[in-house]
Structure 1
C-alpha cells in the first residue's frame, strides 16, 4: 500500500495538489491501494482531498475510495488491477 501523509505540506495548496497528483499516478501505475493521511482537524483538508479525487479526470483513474471508519483521518483509494 502506498501512503501519502499531507501533514508536512497542509498549508501549501500547490504542494498538496502536486503530491496528490503524483501519488495517484504512482498508485495507478503499480495498482496498489493509496492511503492518504489528512488527519482529523477541522475537515477542510479532507474536503480538499475529496474535491481533488472527485474531479472527472482523476475519478476515471481509480476504482473506488473509502473513508476508513476506524480512522477518519485517512482516505483509502483503490485501483482496479491492471491487465
Structure 2
C-alpha cells in the first residue's frame, strides 16, 4: 500500500507541514504501508530541506527503513517502510 502526501497546499504554514508529515509517517507505520510519497515540490528546495530534516528526527527515523531522493523527480521523496 502506498500513501501520498502533497505539501503544496500547506507550504506557508510550518506547523501544518510538521503535523502532516508526522501524521502520515505514524499512519503508515500503524497500517503497515510499504511506501509513503511526500511531495514537497521542486521550488527553491526550502520545503524539501525541512521535510528531510524532519525525517532525520529520532522519533520518526525509527518508524521507517529509509528514504530516498528520487533522481528522476526532485520534487518527490519516497519513504520506504519494509
TM range (shorter): over 0.9
Alignment of 1:59-70 (within 5 A): 59-70=61-72
Q: Which residue of 2 aligns with 1:79?
A: 81
Instruction: State how far apart, in whole Å, the 2-side matches of 1:58 and 1:50 are.
Output: 11
Instruction: State how far apart, in whole Å, the 2-side matches of 1:64 and 1:9 are.
Output: 24
The alpha-carbon deviation at position 70 of structure 1 amounts to 1.1
Note the alpha carbon deviations across 1:26-72, whole angstroms, 9 max, x for none.
11112221000000000000000000000011101100110111111
Instruction: State how far apart, in whole Å, the 2-side matches of 1:51 and 1:77 are.
Output: 13
CA-based RMSD of the aligned residues comes to 0.7
Structure 1 stretches of 4+ with a deviation exceeding 2 A read none
After TM superposition, the score normalised by the length of structure 1 is 0.93
After TM superposition, the score normalised by the length of structure 2 is 0.94
Structure 1 residue runs of 5 or longer lacking an equivalent are none
Structure 2 residue runs of 5 or longer lacking an equivalent are none
Instruction: State how far apart, in whole Å, the 1-side matches of 2:61 and 2:28 are.
Output: 13
